[in-house]
Structure 1
Amino acid sequence: MHQSLTSLLDTTRPGVVAVDGPSGSGKTTYAEVVAGELARRTGARPQVVHMDDVYPGWDGLAEAVGLVTEWVLAPHAAGRHGGFRRWDWVNGTRGERIEVPWAPWIVLEGVAAGSAACREHLTALIWLEADAAVRMARGIERDGEAYRPHWERWARQEQELFAREDTRAHADLVIRT
């Protein structure tokens, strides 16, 4: 396992860095760190794709893996642009189109970004983790107490996915937040 982000990133060739881990572990924040480091090293800002924009609702975690692979990762691997319609969490439907122009680097962040179907397209997989109570507190602070049942439902899906995929074991870098 690599010791640091700087030793992990080989910027001599294009790639995709996934930032995965359970909800509330700090993936979105750390993805910006990765994007900043890639921009510093390459002189170009990478595309950052958020799985939150792809998931088809609170019960769509597993489905999102195939979607992001089809809509973003496979086109990138083929040197083409990708894109998808962002999930509208309020209305429960797909909303506006998000274009993902081909760029040398993509940072894919979110639960399931490092799933088996995604891994064949990844240059590096970073896993973030924190204690469950800390993660829940972060989520409720961000989203509000009314979202606790959704967070609990989502956490069950995460546990199932991570157990099935053994995502953490495939990580190149593990960070406890």
Structure 2
Amino acid sequence: MNPIAQRLQPGTMTVLIDGPSGSGKTTLAKQLADITGFQLVHLDDFYPGWAGLARGRDMVAHDVLHPTRPGFRQWNWQEDRPGDWVSLDPRRPMIVEGVGAISVPSVQAAAHRGTFLTVLVKAQSATRRERALNRDSGFAPWWEMWASQEVEHFEQLPAVDLELWT
């Protein structure tokens, strides 16, 4: 069994999976969701555009992990504007993955929901870039801009429960 899955608990557990682009967060999160049946939330679904990492990070704590009305406003990447609201079940366990999933406010919000686990996923820079650009060729012109936002985010990262290299 997956070593992370062994640490998961029933109830309103929250798993926050963070790491730089191309590190393997989404793959790990999908595997865990398949094993556990937890709700799965991708920050890629609601970052408000390429300059929106910090705003997306804030949305995790304020919207996604809200104690009574969790959810998020999707981002329409084709039209570069907000989309529909997606409601989440506040009683179900949840996996939240993406750059910005772990912050002091999101850890506090996850603790308020119940038990939680924070996971930081890492990979070598060249591997990450190759994975990210293979996944989304439209990312190439934004790579440097996004990477600078990642640096700022990771400078503020609180301690994590588990660190994985892929």
Q: What is the TM-score normalised by the length of structure 1?
A: 0.83
Instruction: Among all aligned residue pairs of Structure 1 and Structure 2, give the percentage whose two residues are the same amino acid.
Output: 37
* Equivalent in the alignment of 2:161: 172
SS in 1 for 2:14: strand
Cα distance, 1:120 vs structure 2: 1.1
Q: Is the 8 A contact 2:16 2:97 kept in 1?
A: yes
Equivalent in the alignment of 1:66: 58
Partners of 2:5 and 2:32 within 8 A in 1: no
Matched pairs, number: 160
The residue identity in structure 2 corresponding to 1:53 is: D
Partner of 2:118: 125
1:83, CA displacement in angstroms?
2.1
Per-residue CA shift, 1:35-57, capped at 9, x if unaligned?
A: 2332xxxxxx2211111112111
Q: Alignment partner of 2:27: what SS?
A: helix
Conserved in 2, the CA contact under 8 Å of 1:47 and 1:103? no
Runs of 5+ unmatched residues, structure 1:
39-44
Kept after mapping to 2: 8 A contact 1:25/1:128: yes
Report 1:86-125 matches (<5 A).
86-122=74-110, 123-125=116-118
Question: Which letter does structure 1 place at the counterpart of 2:126?
Answer: A
TM-score, normalised via structure 2 length = 0.88
Which residue does the alignment assign to 2:25? 27
Instruction: Report the counterpart of residue 113 of structure 2 in structure 1.
Output: none
1:42 is matched with which residue? none
Secondary structure, aligned partner of 1:19: strand
Any gaps of 5 or more consecutive residues in structure 2?
Answer: 111-115
Hey, which bits of structure 1, 4+ residues long, moved more than 4 A? none
CA positional deviation for 1:74: 2.1
Determine whether 1:137 maps to 2:130. Answer: yes
